[in-house]
Each structure stands twice: as C-alpha cells, then as structure tokens.
Structure 1
Amino acid sequence: MREIVVISGKGGTGKTTVSAAFAHLAENSIVCDLDVDAPDLHILLDPQVQSAAPFMGGSEAVIRREACVDCGRCAQLCAFEAVRLRDGRHEVDPLRCEGCGVCVKLCPQQAIDFPEGHCGDWFVSETRFGPMVHAQLFPGKENSGKLVGLLKMEARRRAREQKRDVLLCDGSPGVGCPVIASLSGADAAVCVVEPTPSGRHDFARVADLCRHFRVPMAVIINKADLNDAEASAIEELCAEQGHTLLGRLPFDGAVTRAMVQKQALTETEGPLGDALREMWAKLMGMELGRSRGARA
C-alpha cells in the first residue's frame, strides 16, 4: 500500500483541489482528510457518514465544590489566571485554562478533577471515490496532531482490511504539529506551491521538514503562469535538492466552476484535468519510500 500526503507551505495554494483530483484518479484507494482544524475536502467529495465518534483531547481543570475549602492555592499557582473568585468561591474559567495540571497536582485538598474534554468528532464515510476518514476539531481546541494520528491509524487499518492499494491524505498547510503527524510513516509527500517569493519561502520550509523525516517529495507549481520567474526559481530548487517536479498548472477559471459544482477537476473536460492525470501517472511511477521499507 502506498501512503501519499498532499501538503503545502500555506493555505490557499490549491492543495485540496489537487487532493480531490487525485482521489478521483486513484484506483482501489481510501481517502483521509487530515486538515482537522479547517477541513474542506468533504465539500467536494460529499461524503455519506457511516459512523461518527467523539474525539477526546486536552484536559481542563474542574473544581469540586464539595471538596474545595477555598484556600486560594490554585489561584496563586495558575500562571494563566484561569482561577477566579465568584460569589466568594473559586472556579476555573475554561476559556483561560491551558490544561497544564499544576493546580490539580498541588491542591492541598485534592479537590480539582482533570477530565478529558470533547474536542471534536471524527467520521468514517463513503464517497463516490471510495471510503473516506475525516474529522472536525472544534474551534480553539487543541491536540490536532493527536487527532491526525488517530485518523491515520484508522485509515491504515481499514486500508489493510479492505486490501486498498493507495491511502491518499489531504494534509494541513504549514509545518506545524498536524503536518508533522501527517508525514509520519508516509511514502511520499506532494507539495503544492504558489510562484511567489513567500510561496518559495514556505516551500523551502516544507522541503526541510520532508528531508528531516526522510519523506520523498514531489512538487506541483500551481498558478505557475502568474509569475514565470518565481516558477522557474522553484523548479531550480527542485533540481538542486532532488525533488521530483510533477509539473505546472496554469491559473484557470475552470477551478472555480468545478468547485461550485462540487466536482474534482478530473471530472470535467479541459487542460487542467489532463495535466493532473499526467501528474498522477508520474507520481505512481515514482519509487515511493522503498528505502524505509514497504508496508503491507
């Protein structure tokens, strides 16, 4: 089974557009949306939810009124000023609590509980392109990396059980915790880049991350005709650093029309769909992750 993660140095580069097209082209695959903070692949794939489960993440302190003697020790210890007095009693403001657990450990009366919070929900669905595993983290909640790990574990399990050939993941933008979790164990990363100075800078950061985790990287330059000089500079970087250039995509209003119709670009007629088909074929022709050992 090949595990491919589509990533980008920033949001809005066209990562999900490419992911949807590849999901359409991939045969015998399972799709996984790992952008749990702001998922949008479901908009194009229109999944029919088969099962849903809560995601329990970061803990928050809760004072048990019956055990608390209002000594104020928790308020003195809290670095985030999350403990406050209300009507003469101490309570924890959940919007300020960072879940560090200091008050829980050092409360003289052991009067503070530390339950896990409901941080979001994750789903297993069916789409016209096959099974899909995805999630939605609630606004402001933490542990997106942990949720990404959970989704990948579930997607891999189902892929093995169903003997799927490809696990295609739509990753998060940037280089933070959820991206690191997305790259863990992947056979290849496809980086979608915009031809701008900031896009080239973000691309370099993502390339460093992939190099650190020894994940081979292929590159798609999106909207390449808007800045030919920057597109050429990115191509030179790919050649210097040994990344596979899958190709260039031009700026085209067909993308917006396809999005409005909830279609992948490869479901429509036009040069963009043809280009993405060629890129997918080139990606499938790469030796992916063989040096790190193939997974069954």
Structure 2
Amino acid sequence: MREIVVISGKGGTGKTSVCAALAHLASAGSRGAGQGVVICDLDVDAPDLHLLLAPVPRRREAFMSGNEAVIDRERCTRCGTCAGLCRFGAVRQEGDAFEIDPLRCEGCGVCFRLCPAGSIAFPERECGEWYISDTRFGLMAHALLNPGQENSGRLVSLLKQQARELARENGAQTILCDGSPGVGCPVISSLSGATLAVAVVEPTPSGVHDFERVAALCDHFRIPVALIINKADLNPAETARIRALAEEKGRTVAAELPFSPDVMRAMIAGKALTETDSPLAGLLAGAWKTIDGLAARADSRKTPNL
C-alpha cells in the first residue's frame, strides 16, 4: 500500500484541483469499481476537496480532543478560587455567579482540580466532525475542525488511520491525500508514513521560497518529492529556477501546467479537470503516470515493518 500526499508550501497554488484530478485518474486506472484508491482530505482547518467530489457520508463521528471546564452553578459556592487560579482569563463573573468562557478556556484543568467545592466538571471538548463518505472516485475520509479549535494534527492522524483501514478492508493499493498548506503540525502529520509527496508549486519568489521549506521538511523525513509547477507560463524565469532546483536535488518535475480559465470552469461545474475536455487533462494524465511510477518504486524500497 502506498500513500501519496499532495502538498504545497503555501495556500492557493491549485493543490486541491490537482488532487481531485489525480483521484479521478487513480480510480479510472484501478480495478474494483473505483475501490483501488482511497481519498483523504487532510486540510481539516479549511477543507474544500468535497466541493469537487460531492461526498455522501456513510459514517459521521464527533472529533473529541482535549477538555473544557464547566461550572455547575448549583454546587458553586461563589468563592472565586477558579477566577484567581485561571491564567487565561477564562473565568468571568456575572453578578455573584461565575462561569467559564469556552473560547478562552485552554483545558489546563487547574480550576477543576483545585475547586474547593468540586463544582467544576471537565468533559471532553468536541472540536469538529469527521466522515467516511462515498464519492464517484471511491471512498473518502475527511473532516471539518470547528473554528478556532486546535489539535488539527491529531485529527489529521485520525483521518490517516481511517484511510489506511479503508484501504485494507477494500483492497485498495493507493491512498491519495490532499494535505494542508505550509510546514506546520498538520503538514507534518499529513506526511507521516507517506510514500511520496507531490508538491504543487507556483513560479513566484514566495512560491519558490515556501516550496524549499516544505521540500526540506520532506527531506528530513526521507520522503521523495515530485513537483507539479502550476501556472508555469506566467513567470518563465521562476519556472526555470524551480526546474533547476529540482534537478539539483534529484527531484522529478511531473508536469508544468499553463495558466488556464479551465480550472475555474471545472470548479464551478464541480468537476475534476480530467473530467473535462481541457488540454490540462492530458498534462495531468501524464503527470499521474509519472507520479504513480515514482510511488511504486519508492514503495518497493520501503523497509518492511518488523
């Protein structure tokens, strides 16, 4: 089983459009009515792959992570100990009563443990939801983190675990993940156990800079990187610079995609680019052939689990 993670050093590079196209190509080239690939949207803070794949949930679960203090007003003696202990300003007073602001509570548990009256509960915090869904390209694991909630790295890990279980149950050989942008905790979780990273890069100074950061992260975890240069024709000088960087590091440029309004048209229609007659579809098909081959070779070099 191989895991391909589509990443980008920054947002807005076209990563999700590329991932949707690769999911279509992977499912079209597999056996078992689309069950040869499991799709996973790991951009849990701002997911949008569902806009193109129209998933129909078959399983829906709350994502519980961390704890949140809650005052029982019936048992509270109004002593104010909790307010004096809280270092996050989460305890507020209304009249002679105290309550906890859930947006400020960091879940440290100090008030819960030291309340003299034992009037503070400490239940798990619901941070969002995760889903297992059917799409026209195969099964999909995805989620949505509630606004302002943390632990996105933990939710990403949960989704990857679910995707691996789905792949084993359905005999899928490929897990294709739409990763988070940047180099933070969600991206590190996205890359954990990956066979190959596919970096979608824009030919701009900031795009090159952010690509170098995410490529260094992949190097740290010894994950090979393939590149897709998006809007390559808008800045030939930076495109040449990216190509030179890839050659220097021994990385494969799987495709150079020109700027095209077809991308927006496909998004509005809720389709992957490869479901349209856009010239980009042929370029992406060639890119998938290269990426699939690279992933197969990388998978064959993996050390077996002991």
- Letter of the 2:225 partner, please give it: M
Aligned to 1:293: 303
**What is the rounded CA distance, in whole Å, between the counterparts of 1:176 and 1:41 in structure 2?**
20
Instruction: Give the whole-Å Cα distance in 2 for the aligned partners of 1:46 and 1:93.
Output: 36
Query: In 2 relative to 1, CA 21–294 (structure 1 residues): closer, same or farther, beyond 3 Å?
Result: farther
Is contact 1:216–1:289 with CA below 8 Å preserved after alignment? Answer: no
Q: How does 1:261-272 map to 2 (within 5 A)?
A: 261-272=269-280
CA separation of 1:170 and 1:188: change in aligned 2, threshold 3 A: same
- 1:294 deviates by 5.5
Q: Structure 1: which 5+ residue stretches go unaligned? A: none
C-alpha separation between the residues in 2 aligned to 1:208 and 1:110? 50
Q: Which structure 2 residues correspond to residues 186-205 of structure 1 after superposition, within 5 A?
A: 186-205=194-213
1:64 aligns with 2:72: yes
Distance between the aligned counterparts of 1:50 and 1:25, measured in 2? 23
Aligned to 1:246: 254
Q: Which amino acid aligns with 1:139?
A: P
Describe the SS at the equivalent of 1:225.
Answer: helix
Provide the residue aligned with 2:215 in structure 1. Answer: 207
Partner of 1:260: 268
Q: Distance in 2 between matches of 1:82 and 1:171?
A: 33
Give the Cα–Cα distance (whole angstroms) in 2 for the partners of residues 109 and 63 of structure 1.
11
Q: Give how far 1:130 is off.
A: 0.9
Counterpart mapping for 1:44-123 below 5 A: 44-123=52-131
Q: Deviations over 1:3-30 (max 9, x none)?
A: 1010111111000000000000102111
CA distance in 2, matches of 1:241, 1:77: 53
Q: Is the 8 A contact 1:70 1:89 kept in 2?
A: yes
Query: Partner of 2:171 in structure 1?
Result: 163
Cα distance in structure 2, aligned partners of 1:146 and 1:57: 8
The CA RMSD measured in Å over matched residues stands at 1.5
Please state how far the C-alpha of 1:291 moved relative to its aligned partner. 4.1
Letter in 1 for 2:75: A
Question: Amino acid of the residue matched to residue 103 of structure 2?
Answer: L
**Displacement of 1:288 after TM fit?**
1.9
Match of 1:285, SS state, is: helix
Match in the other structure for 1:150:
158
For the residues of structure 2 that align with 1:127 and 1:224, how far apart are their CA atoms? 31
CA distance in 2, matches of 1:208, 1:108: 51
CA distance in 1, matches of 2:279, 2:195: 28
Deviation (angstroms), 1:71: 2.6
Q: How many angstroms does 1:33 deviate by?
A: 0.7
Q: Which amino acid aligns with 1:275?
A: L
Aligned-pair identity (%):
60
Structure 1 residues 257-276: Cα deviation after superposition (integer angstroms, max 9, x where no partner): 11111111111123211111
Map 1:266-285 to 2 at 5 A: 266-285=274-293
- CA-to-aligned-CA distance 1:146-197 (integer Å, 9 cap, x gap): 1111111111011011110110011111111111111111111101011111
2:140 partner letter:
M
The one-letter code of the counterpart of 1:149 is S
Deviation, structure 1 residue 250: 0.5
Matched, 1:137 2:145: yes
Deviations 1:220-256 (A, max 9, x none): 1100111111111111111222222212111001111
CA apart distance, 1:103 = 2.2
Q: Identify the residue that residue 126 of structure 1 maps to in structure 2.
A: 134
Q: 1:289: Cα distance to partner?
A: 4.3
Moved over 4 A (4+): none
**In structure 1, how many angstroms separate the alpha carbons of the residues matched to 2:141 and 2:267?**
21
1:114 and 1:292 mapped to 2: Cα distance?
43
Residue deviations 1:48-101 (CA, integer Å, cap 9, x gap): 211211111231111223433333222122221111111212211112112222
Deviations 1:82-130 (A, max 9, x none): 1111121221111211222222233334432211122111111111111
Distance 1:69 1:240 in 2: 68
Distance 1:21 1:35 in 2: 17
Match of 1:41 among 19, 32, 49: 49
Match of 1:222? Answer: 230
Secondary structure in structure 1 of the residue aligned to 2:103: coil
Q: Measured at CA, do residues 283 and 67 of structure 1 come closer, stay the same or move farther in structure 2, by a change above 3 Å?
A: same
Partner amino acid for 2:16?
A: T
Return the alpha-carbon distance in structure 2 between the equivalents of residues 177 and 227 of structure 1. 31
* Cα distance in 2, alignment partners of residues 192 and 114 from structure 1: 43
